[in-house]
Structure 1
Amino acid sequence: MAAPRVTVLDYGSGNVRSAVRALERVGADVTLSARAEDVMEAEGLLVPGVGAFAAVMAALNDVGAVRHIGRRIAGNRPVLGICVGHQVFFDEGVEHGVRTPGLGEWPGTVELLPAPIVPHMGWNTVDAPEDTRLFAGIEDERFYFVHSYAVQRWDFEVLQPRMTPPLVTWSEHGAPFVAGVENGPLSAVQFHPEKSGDAGAQLLENWLGTL
């Protein structure tokens, strides 16, 4: 059986090499690229992200990735976002009073966590929904987070009777926040699976199983 072909989007994010290695360890054939053909033709696309929301959105626009990501989702082609690559799929991010539009796939605003200590750095548990595929077998495990901002409210309106609402996974640091979303071809997690040991490897393997 051929290894699933995954492109890790290369737009200047700092954690791409570790993401590539983590995917290779669980059996993916990985390409690190921002070329349109690599982004569109891969069976799976991973969107990494570290740093500021606005900087990530600017970099995605600079390499023309926003349009290609949208085309993949519209064509039911699997995409996985991690860390800020998770955050950009929401409506907007607010940092230091500056609002930056996101990709708008999900409603919500990425805001500073109301915690005594930020960033939220280290291992934490998650509360995954019953029907999860992404967290199957690892619902009770801990994952590695490094972030100061998160989506703390989820208000998704089901517009059509046959529409399946997204599955939302939560965690908590100062307040509950969205730690993961599974929504048809689009999935994303706030933590770093590539830094989350065996649990993170299993999550990536679970995602590969959906390709």
Structure 2
Amino acid sequence: MNNNTITEQKHSPLGGAGGGLVIINYGAGNIQSIKFAFKRLGIDAVLSDNAEEIKAADKVIFPGVGEASSAMAKLRATGLDQVIPILKQPVLGICLGMQLMCKHSTEGDTTGLGIFDTDVIKFSNAVKVPQIGWNEISNLEGPLFKGIPENSHMYLVHSFYAPQCTEMIATTHYEVDYASALQKDNFYGVQFHPEKSGKVGQEILKNFVSL
């Protein structure tokens, strides 16, 4: 494990004897905006790349912004590629984080963590790539979307997507209907950025904290 562990505010923001909420800090995430989003919910999230601290957390956020193969290389360099798939607490992957939780991405021919049984592919040249801006999420399922209205608008920035699959819990249309959220057991993933999606995004993060 990386000896230069990045850690902040080592107290449990969710109360109890657990390890609070940890945002995985592996150098490939838009972590400050996520941290501020939880701060608005009254939660002081911990930023960490320490395996034991991540495993001890009550909830884990797995962010990601950038290119898939370089992000996976960073996970492998710290051993976190072995840690994330065995976590037992609720884990939420955001944007590239969700994509890396899939089996494979055509971006950089990248082997993912294999948590979700689907691949990630690129939008065609028939549409503007990347998709940037607000789009609707529909066919909402599960506790992550408790109280969230159908066709709510969320903020997205991405060129690659997960096709519809058995593990999808939300869909979005851009060229095709694709999986904008996934769930398998304790693992959740969202293609959109809840931390940048206003009140509805905050409610989704609140639902995650309440899992």
In the superposition, the TM-score normalised over structure 2's length comes to 0.86
**Matched residue count:** 193
- Aligned partner of 2:121 in structure 1 is 111
Of the three residues 110, 122, 126, the one matched with 1:100 is 110
Q: What is the distance in 2 between the residues matched to 1:22 and 1:30? A: 10
Q: What is the distance in 1 between the residues matched to 2:42 and 2:83? A: 25
Q: What is the distance in 1 between the residues matched to 2:48 and 2:145? A: 27
Per the TM alignment, residue 7 of structure 1 is displaced from its structure 2 partner at its CA by 0.6
| Matched AA of 2:193 | H
Q: What is the distance in 1 between the residues matched to 2:80 and 2:207? A: 25
Q: Which runs of 5+ in 2 are unaligned?
A: 1-11, 15-19
Residues 68 and 105 in structure 2, CA contact (< 8 A), matched pair in contact too: yes
Secondary structure of 1:134's aligned partner: helix
Q: What is the distance in 1 between the residues matched to 2:205 and 2:164? A: 26
| Matched AA of 1:30 | A
Secondary structure of 1:171's aligned partner: strand
Secondary structure of 1:199's aligned partner: helix
Q: Which runs of 5+ in 1 are unaligned?
A: 157-165
**Structure 1 residue 55 corresponds to structure 2 residue 70:** yes
**Structure 1 residue 81 corresponds to structure 2 residue 96:** no
- Aligned partner of 1:160 in structure 2 is none
- Aligned partner of 2:7 in structure 1 is none
Q: What is the distance in 1 between the residues matched to 2:63 and 2:98? A: 8
Secondary structure of 2:156's aligned partner: strand
| Matched AA of 1:81 | G
Per the TM alignment, residue 3 of structure 1 is displaced from its structure 2 partner at its CA by 3.7
Q: What is the distance in 1 between the residues matched to 2:68 and 2:89? A: 24
- Aligned partner of 1:173 in structure 2 is 174
Secondary structure of 2:106's aligned partner: strand
| Matched AA of 2:123 | L
Residues 127 and 169 in structure 1, CA contact (< 8 A), matched pair in contact too: yes
Structure 1 ranges of 4+ moved more than 4 A = none
Between 25-34 and 187-196, report the one with greater CA deviation.
25-34
